[in-house]
Chain A
């Protein structure tokens, strides 16, 4: 090792075996152990064990060989021309070390902090950090069922459709100006629409609600930036956007329910109001799951369904009953129906990933029972969500020994003169 200043020498100045890096506990076994370990005989049990191991490891080793470009047919596919250029190993080292130290600190905070608020916050930040680390890595997790995969692809198609509607570029100045006000403008439109619905002005309400949906889809405000002042006052724009969006949907349904009640359709009103509350509850449960480490972003299918259903129901009401909701068609009830259905989807989704996490935990616990493999964290990327489990039974064992060997000091001072 080319370590400057780090030379140790005996008291008489002679180099000891230790100073050259030789270790007393070299991994070489002694002669007896060599003879015993070199025994080349195989019994029937060995053969059976090796045959089983060959079957288990074949696919994994084939993947290793293919990744290294050692299989002729995979050689071309494995070769990435600029791989070396991108793989600047030591440039990332500082970041790695700092990240690891920060993660350790976060672990310590979430385990030992006296403040429950700080523990919870550390858990959230740690989950986010781990997500960023594992994002893009293949995690050895069984693939989800075919139904889930199909739903994901549908969701992805809806996302692309929304992206095609957008006219703003993320970096355009107008988008930056629109972003801080967008959520409040959209909420105001929804609130005004709800009040008008309650008052029986269905046509105007339908125009306002249609405008809201169109404006949200066409402008598609970029992801809110976390500016210094926002961080200082603890304002989370993501949270505000979420509240505005889902609160607005619930407000529209509440307005519809009030209008129906005023027109004498109390049963419809009750159903609509119940759907609004249920939808809100399901959304809150999904968002609250984030605090437990379940990263579940909003489904695009859900957004599209609510946009179409709410606008469609109000427009249908406006067409069939220009003043008052007393003569509205039963199509009006499609909106609360869709919201309730989406609520069920939200709850099912949260339960699905919670169950998935539980299964991973029990698997980890089982592996921890056989050895000392207690994972510090289980992170599973699932395409539209990330399941993060934080579990730490103790501190990560350090590479440096915590306890010095008996009779030896923890630190070994080296005289500066040996430099």
Chain B
């Protein structure tokens, strides 16, 4: 009886959207966003597109399982899995969990990379930053992240006024801290370490579009180290506010002991 044993070569095959990661990032951008170009732009980049198409086909033939969709769609799927969804966990609350804007940002960045030659990753990060800087989106995201449970743990003896004051100060801190987008994003990465692990594979390591803290530091106009220090101090401020609130209880305990 013939046993259908997969060969070594077959077992190494991966899904097409993962296999295209072996292509150059500009080629992936060409495949994904060629349709978005105007006719004149398509004409200008037709040769490069055909070359990318040929390279992509070769990669898929050698390394991927049988594709069920055309190569441009495979390239867009690559962007969805390594650029859109990892950032959804990170900056998703800024977009109210909607992937539409992120997907558009990726395709627009890919388009600009073809037309103007800007690195697609930098353009994409600039677009993300542009969205994140919007004050209304930022307030919305802060409102989401502040649901972090420890921020809602109040001592039983805390008076209403003290809690109101605490809420007000945390509210203001979240709304005014300049490094807040970076803090929120770092927070999201820490809470979802799997997403970073998924992106650390050799093929996509340097090609994923996750908007990491070091990239945000550039847009904030500072060194990554300064941003890290600022985040650390901001977290300490949260702790300090909480400690101030807890002093209420300690004082009450102390008063109780004195009275007894």
A399 adjacent to B170 (CB under 8 Å): yes
A64 within 8 A of B: yes
A19 and B150 alpha carbons, distance in the complex (Å): 7
The verdict on A64 contacting B172 (CB below 8 Å), with A41-B73, A414-B154 known, is no
B11 within 8 A of A: no
B93 adjacent to A27 (CB under 8 Å): yes
- Chain A proximity mask over B191-232: 1 for CB below 8 Å, otherwise 0: 100000000000000000000000000110111001000100
Contact of B126 among A8, A18, A65, A419 (CB under 8 A): A65
A37 and B178 alpha carbons, distance in the complex (Å): 32
Which chain B residues lie closer than 8 Å to A1 at the CB level? 148, 150-151, 187, 235, 238
A93 adjacent to B36 (CB under 8 Å): no
The verdict on A96 contacting B80 (CB below 8 Å), with A4-B239, A84-B223, A397-B143 known, is no
The verdict on A47 contacting B35 (CB below 8 Å), with A54-B108, A64-B129, A416-B249 known, is yes
Interface residues of A in 62-96 (CB under 8 A from B): 64-65, 67-71, 78, 80, 83-84, 87, 89-90, 92-93, 96
B112 adjacent to A58 (CB under 8 Å): yes
- Chain A proximity mask over B163-190: 1 for CB below 8 Å, otherwise 0: 1000111111111111100000001000
Which chain A residues lie closer than 8 Å to B80 at the CB level? 37-38, 40
Q: A56 CB to closest chain B CB, in angstroms?
A: 10
Which chain A residues lie closer than 8 Å to B178 at the CB level? 89, 92
A412 within 8 A of B: yes
The verdict on A6 contacting B242 (CB below 8 Å), with A51-B38, A398-B167, A414-B153 known, is yes
Which chain A residues lie closer than 8 Å to B153 at the CB level? 6-8, 412, 414
Mostly, the B contact residues are helix
A70 adjacent to B126 (CB under 8 Å): yes
Which chain A residues lie closer than 8 Å to B218 at the CB level? 68-70
**Chain B residues bordering chain A, tally (CB within 8 A):** 86
B35 adjacent to A42 (CB under 8 Å): yes
A319 within 8 A of B: no
Contact of A2 among B129, B174, B235 (CB under 8 A): B235
A411 and B163 alpha carbons, distance in the complex (Å): 9
Q: Which residue of A lies closest to B103 (CB)?
A: A37
Binds A, one of B48-56, B58-66, B84-92: B84-92
A-B CB contact pairs (8 Å), 19 listed: A1-B235, A2-B236, A3-B242, A4-B239, A6-B239, A6-B242, A8-B150, A38-B85, A40-B76, A57-B130, A78-B221, A89-B230, A92-B178, A97-B172, A97-B176, A100-B176, A101-B172, A400-B146, A413-B155
Interface residues in chain B, defined as those with a beta carbon under 8 Å from any beta carbon in chain A: 35-36, 38, 69, 72-77, 80-81, 84-85, 88-89, 92-93, 97, 99-100, 103-104, 107-108, 111-112, 118, 122-123, 126-127, 129-130, 136, 139, 142-144, 146-156, 158, 163, 167-179, 187, 191, 218-219, 221-223, 226, 230, 233-239, 242-243, 246, 249, 253
Interface residues in chain A, defined as those with a beta carbon under 8 Å from any beta carbon in chain B: 1-8, 18-19, 21-23, 25-29, 34, 37-38, 40-42, 47, 49-51, 53-54, 57-58, 60-61, 64-65, 67-71, 78, 80, 83-84, 87, 89-90, 92-93, 96-97, 100-101, 373, 397-400, 411-416, 419
